[in-house]
Amino acid sequence: MAGRRVLTRAAKAGRGQAGQQRQPHGRAEGEEALPCADLLDDFVDSLRIEQGASEHTVRSYRTDLEAFLRWCVRAGVDPLHAEHRQLRSYLGELDAARYARTTINRHLSSLRGFYRWMIIAGVIQSDPASALAGPRQTRHLPHVLQRDDMLRLLCVHAAVDATGEAREQTPADMRDQALLEFLYACGARISEASSLRLEDVDFAAQQVKVFGKGRKERIIPLHRMCLQALHRYLDEARPELLNGSATDRFFVSNRGKPMSADSMRKMFKATVRAAGLDDRLSPHDMRHTFATDLLAGEADLRSVQEMLGHATLSTTQIYTHLSPERLKAVHGQSHPRA
């Protein structure tokens, strides 16, 4: 019902667009009000409420669409009556400004979502963004950590370093070790790790419940080493980090607050530097490595798809290109002339 009220409010805002508008987020004091500010607020509300989009996704949509609405002011374009050629002109300006293809396509996706939502809300009758095409993107193979590099990374915060020497762990070390083991053990996105709650980890069943994009739920097994790291963090480190605070979030910061995705990324970057690895590595590369290592171990593609939470098998298939040994083995076992 909440989603229906959002749409009704948006439709009213569209019919009375000349009236007062809420000040959009991120507008500096004294800056001219953006057109369709109420509609933009309602749209991002619908992303959050109806689609269960993460705050990172909501923030990206808002940023992209505010940029478009500012362009509309400069270009003298009414967003509610924009034509296909005008939207194409906007994307052309992004290209001329040397925006990356991925960024332009993200802006295009935001425009499509916004105009499609306004059609459903009854604000506009035709969708000028439906036939828009973005620049073709080169499909890059994901970066994957080699076994030795993964070991070096996992040893930075461990109780035993890469040489086998014992080291004293701080509560933050135990947490960071548990987080790294978790990312590699189940291929979770960093946003999924940040939103993980205590009740989501089932130690008895040796599995974790992860909520992905659109709050889609999936169950992923956890191996023994990961469970040990998580258990030690819960028993020894988390109570000290909380220091009297309370939260149901699994991973907490040094100040006892829920650990944000940005804080996790900063920790990962610091760990990469400490391990002497390529500074371009990101937490998402743990997810890529998880998938590639499973396929190299002869896991079937459909199971890997389910564990990653991919909507389509084609998204998971890119990892088959990263495991030529597996493809050779399948070819050798299956081809009649092999």
Q: Tell me the angle at which helices 284-296 and 324-334 cross, rounded to the nearest 10 degrees.
A: 20
The predicted pLDDT at position 170 comes to: 97
Question: CB under 8 Å, gap of 24 or more: what pairs does 69-77 form?
Answer: 69/24, 69/34, 69/35, 69/36, 69/37, 69/40, 70/34, 72/35, 73/32, 73/34, 73/35
Q: Tell me the angle at which helices 171-186 and 284-296 cross, rounded to the nearest 10 degrees.
A: 50
Question: CB of 195 within 8 A of CB of 209?
Answer: no
Domains of the chain (ranges, CATH numbers): 2-121 (1.10.150.130), 147-278 (1.10.443.10)
Q: Per residue in 272-327, pLDDT tens?
A: 999 999 999 999 999 999 998 998 888 888 998 989 988 888 778 777 766 666 66
Q: How many angstroms separate the CA atoms of 261 and 18, rounded? A: 39
Reading the block at residue 251, the tokens are 């991973």
The predicted pLDDT at position 331 comes to: 61
Strand partners, 211: 217
Asked whether residue 259 carries a pLDDT value surpassing 70, the answer given is yes
* 3-state DSSP assignment of residue 220: strand
Active site amino acids: 189, 213, 284, 287, 310, 319
Question: CB of 62 within 8 A of CB of 72?
Answer: no
Buried b (16+ CB within 10 A) or exposed e, 300-335: eeeebbebbbbeeeeebebbbebbeebeeeeeeeee
Strand partners, 313: none
Sheet holding 217-221, edge to edge: 201-202, 207-211, 217-221
One-character DSSP codes across 235-294: IIIHHHHHTT----BSSB-TTSSBPPHHHHHHHHHHHHHHTT--TT--THHHHHHHHHHH
Strand partners, 219: 209
Q: How many angstroms separate the CA atoms of 65 and 86, rounded? A: 15
More confident residue, 124 or 10: 124
The predicted pLDDT at position 5 comes to: 37
Reading the block at residue 301, the tokens are 């593609």
Which of left, alpha, beta for 89 (phi over 0: left; psi -120 to 50: alpha)?
alpha
Q: Per residue in 216-227, pLDDT tens?
A: 889 999 999 999
Asked whether residue 213 carries a pLDDT value surpassing 80, the answer given is no
The predicted pLDDT at position 16 comes to: 41
Asked whether residue 15 carries a pLDDT value surpassing 50, the answer given is no
The predicted pLDDT at position 7 comes to: 43
The alpha-carbon radius of gyration of the chain (Å, integer) is 24
The length of the chain in residues reads 338
The predicted pLDDT at position 19 comes to: 35
Asked whether residue 124 carries a pLDDT value surpassing 50, the answer given is yes
Going by the DSSP 8-state scheme, the letter that residue 166 receives in this structure is B
Count of beta carbons in the 10 Å neighbourhood of residue 119: 14
One-character DSSP codes across 315-330: HHHGGGGG-HHHHHHH
Question: CB under 8 Å, gap of 24 or more: what pairs does 193-197 form?
Answer: 193/251, 193/261, 193/264, 194/249, 194/251, 194/258, 194/259, 194/260, 194/261, 194/264, 195/54, 195/249, 196/249, 196/250, 196/251, 197/248, 197/249, 197/250
